[in-house]
A = this chain, B = another copy of it.
Amino acid sequence: MRLADLTQRAGEWLRGVGPMHDVVISSRIRLARNLAGVPFLSRCGTDQQREIEQRLREKILQAGIAREMFYVDVGAAGELDRQLLVERHLISRQHADADHPRGVAITADETAAIMVNEEDHLRMQILRSGLQLAEAMREIQHMDDLLEKHLDFAYHGQFGYLTACPTNVGTGMRVSVMLHLPALKMTGEIEKVFRAARDMRLAVRGLYGEGTEATGDFFQVSNQSTLGKTEEQIVEEFLSQMIPEFIEYERRARRALLDRQHRAIDDKVGRAHALLRAVKLISSEETMYLLSLLRMGVNLERITSVDLRAINELFLLTQPAHLQKMYKREMTAEQRAEARADLIRARLGGD
């Protein structure tokens, strides 16, 4: 398993076949952990950071987390490779851009990834398609248990796990769910959802672009604080109250649009489909926007000739680093716009 193999396929989480996939793109759980008796990363010199990185790398690969797991020395990786990992949601933008010794361990199916020396010594995540928080929870706890057999984590009897940033102290857990809410955006009800989320002390942000101006109609909902609740309580709240409510809002908005404005829906969706099959040049941003509409069209069964998986793969493969990896050369923005258009037309059976 090498990094280059990643561009040939989409990770499990993007297959788009998980539960509630008409609205829920993916579920993610992340745990922050730090080594006991070792300073937080920002307090270490480069030598100590390197030492931590090498030790953690070794322990992670010994822990038996998955049948196949590979490790990327992010500090030594080229810019394109780092960008590729960001685009696949395997490392954070900060982790890609930092300049100290650091890395990431990834399972072959990409559901699990462990960043070494990000803000904390360890940041592990499980990422799954659709609404699979319970499964993700089981897996990340299992991964945490396996690592604790080899490593001693900083833990405080009263506060819980200690983390570099106070907002992560406690469980050190962040739960996030990526939602596709095109109908709520179209009807303008998305603001209501944002207010409801804030009332539940959830953070909402657009996957591409910020806040309500997000392109692509994708929104990530996550918990704000990790202190004072158990891991199980946090996940339970997501599963029993918050997410079902958002799903129901969006489904209701889609039905209402179809009932009252099916022409407008067919127009928007049909235009997106036609454009994607005709473009000769297209930006990342417009791609996200059009694919998002097409995805809604397929989920609403207004378009039956396109496979959901093809759309989900295009979301991933049309990103800058993926394109350049696929074409095996560095490209300017304009060259990418060409290559992206060619790829989309080819996948969607365009001219």
Contacts and interface: CB of A to CB of B under 8 A. Distances in A.
A45 to B, nearest CB: 51
Interface stretch (A149-157, A181-189, A230-238, A275-283): A275-283
A280 to B, nearest CB: 4
A341 B267 contact: yes
A270 interface: yes
B266 A273 contact: no
B278 A270 contact: yes
A165 interface: no
A269 to B, nearest CB: 9
The complex is assembled from copies of this chain, and their number is: 2
Nearest to A272: B278
Given A263-B338, A338-B263, A351 B270 contact: yes
Interface string A34-56: 00000000000000000000000
A275 B271 contact: yes
Interface in A206-230: none
Q: How large is the interface on A (under 10, 10 to 19, 20 to 34, 35 or more residues)?
A: 10 to 19
A271 B344 CA distance: 14
A196 interface: no
A326 interface: no
A338 B264 CA distance: 10
Contact of A270 (B266, B270, B280): B280
A281 to B, nearest CB: 4
B280 A263 contact: yes
Contacts of A263: 280-281, 338
A274 interface: yes
A312 B154 CA distance: 75
Nearest to A350: B274
Interface in A66-123: none
Given A273-B278, A274-B275, 17 more contacts: A263-B280, A263-B281, A264-B281, A266-B280, A267-B279, A267-B281, A267-B282, A270-B278, A270-B280, A270-B351, A271-B275, A271-B278, A271-B279, A274-B274, A274-B277, A274-B278, A275-B275
5 contacts: A264-B281, A266-B280, A270-B278, A271-B279, A275-B275
8 pairs of A and B residues whose beta carbons are closest in the complex: A274-B278, A267-B280, A274-B274, A267-B281, A270-B278, A266-B280, A263-B280, A271-B278
